[in-house]
Amino acid sequence: MTNVVSLRRQEADAFQPAIPGLIDMFASRRRGRHDAFWLKENAELLQILAALGAGAEVDLEPLRLRAGTLMQELRFFPQYYRMYLSLAVDLRALGMADSPVEEMAAFVQARDLTAVELSDTHRGEAQLLLRRAGVLVEDPALEARLARFAANSTAFCLPNRRAAYDLTHIVFHASDYGRKPLARDPQRRISLIHAGLVAWLEGNLDLLAEVTLALRLSGEDVPEVWANAVARAADRVEFEPGHAAGPFDDDYHQYLVLNWAFALSGGDAFGGGVPGNARIIRQPLRQGAALHEMSLALLDMGDARQPDWPRMRWRLWAKLSKPARDCLLSVETMPEFEGFFAGFSRAGQGDGDKQ
């Protein structure tokens, strides 16, 4: 039987305040110290706390011993240099003055570790981390490629999680997670709206939260229906003790980005508390999705499908369940929806020619 602890049911004295409780849980109870996912999860948590300026609320003591070994570990595991450098710069930002930021950045440069990156998104992240460490790095060609990728709004009409997350992270890196003003770009905005529509229709709160973050960091408005969904979901969390050998397919990342997005909207992020034995984070699924049903219906239409939403709506409507219709009703009046549907419909692709 699963031992589930609800924030709303547990007595207050069984909890640590959320932020120190999360640091303690991520540092001490989720992963072993030699697990690469320990680096990933702790880097993501500290990244968000530093972006929120949470220094006064942060107790870094659970991380102090590990922080002292970061340079030694980086020398042995240089393939994880972005995670190590991210940990170091955010530990410094959150108040750990002796974090070995400069030494680690010098090592990354001396070994030219960024040369192994095939992903432009990862190259952009590496450049940001080096700049935060005080190293002047410029690559106009890389910036131009990232900008072209982000402006290709048609590409984001179709489900492609890797591309969508690359898009949001390009904005995170370009804005230094909100520390640097970012010039508005109409095409990038449309790309984000398209990625957000896919996330909404799929019921993917993790991606939807990242899209709302990227819109705000770009100086753009967030559709009210998305902002409300993020606000409702941010504190709907349950913590489980879990087992040392148990699986870790949980909702930690969604919980973190939902609360970051909620904070940027003016909400009280990471409210409540964290049980002292918590190890696993669960959040309920968002009810109602339409993406799969829409895709199957459009596929079945073959060459008869059209890119015009007003014409196609009545043909699709009868093929969708009520939850799928409700999901669509929330977004079909958005000004960008018809342009999104034109790409999503894949009309005129010559399906009739397939053998």
Report which residue type is found at 343. Answer: G
Give residue 288's pLDDT.
81
Q: Which of 136-145, 193-202, 239-248, 292-301 has the lowest mean pLDDT?
A: 239-248
Contact 125, 132 (CB under 8 A): no
User: How many Cα atoms are found within 13 Å in the side-chain-facing hemisphere of 322?
Assistant: 0
Residue 161 has pLDDT above 70, yes or no: yes
The set of residues, in sequence order, having a beta carbon less than 8 Å from that of 353 and lying 6+ positions away, is none
- pLDDT, one tens digit per residue, over 277-309 is 999 999 987 778 999 999 999 999 999 999 999
209 CB burial (10 A radius; 0-12, 13-18, 19+): buried
Instruction: Give me the mean pLDDT over the 123-135 stretch.
Output: 97
Give residue 86's pLDDT.
98
Residue with tokens 């990244």: 47
Instruction: Give me the mean pLDDT over the 100-126 stretch.
Output: 97
Contact 347, 306 (CB under 8 A): yes
CB atoms within 10 A of CB 220: 18
Q: Check the CA dihedral 70-72-73-74 and report its sign.
A: positive
Nearest to 271 by CA among 216, 240, 215, 231: 231
Contact 78, 112 (CB under 8 A): no
174 CB burial (10 A radius; 0-12, 13-18, 19+): buried
What are the tokens at 131?
């700049």
Alpha-carbon gap, residue 92 to 108, rounded angstroms? 18
What are the tokens at 95?
């108040």
Alpha-carbon gap, residue 82 to 130, rounded angstroms? 9
Contact 332, 309 (CB under 8 A): yes
Give residue 17's pLDDT.
78
Residue 316 has pLDDT above 60, yes or no: yes
Alpha-carbon gap, residue 148 to 151, rounded angstroms? 5
Residue 355 has pLDDT above 50, yes or no: no
Residue 4 has pLDDT above 60, yes or no: no
Give residue 16's pLDDT.
61
Report which residue type is found at 164. Answer: A
Residue with tokens 């799969």: 292
Q: Check the CA dihedral 301-302-303-308 and report its sign.
A: positive
- pLDDT, one tens digit per residue, over 218-249 is 999 999 999 999 999 998 999 999 776 566 78
Rounded to two decimals, what is the model's pTM? 0.92
Give residue 350's pLDDT.
58
Alpha-carbon gap, residue 174 to 163, rounded angstroms? 16
CA 134 to chain CA mean position, Å = 26
The set of residues, in sequence order, having a beta carbon less than 8 Å from that of 132 and lying 6+ positions away, is 89, 93, 101, 176
Percent of the chain with pLDDT over 70: 92
Give residue 253's pLDDT.
97
Instruction: Give me the mean pLDDT over the 181-185 stretch.
Output: 95
**What is the chain's percent helix, strand, coil content, to nearest 5?**
60, 5, 35
The set of residues, in sequence order, having a beta carbon less than 8 Å from that of 10 and lying 6+ positions away, is 273, 275
Give residue 173's pLDDT.
98
The pLDDT mean for the chain works out to: 91
What are the tokens at 261?
């997005």
Contact 100, 52 (CB under 8 A): no
Give residue 222's pLDDT.
98
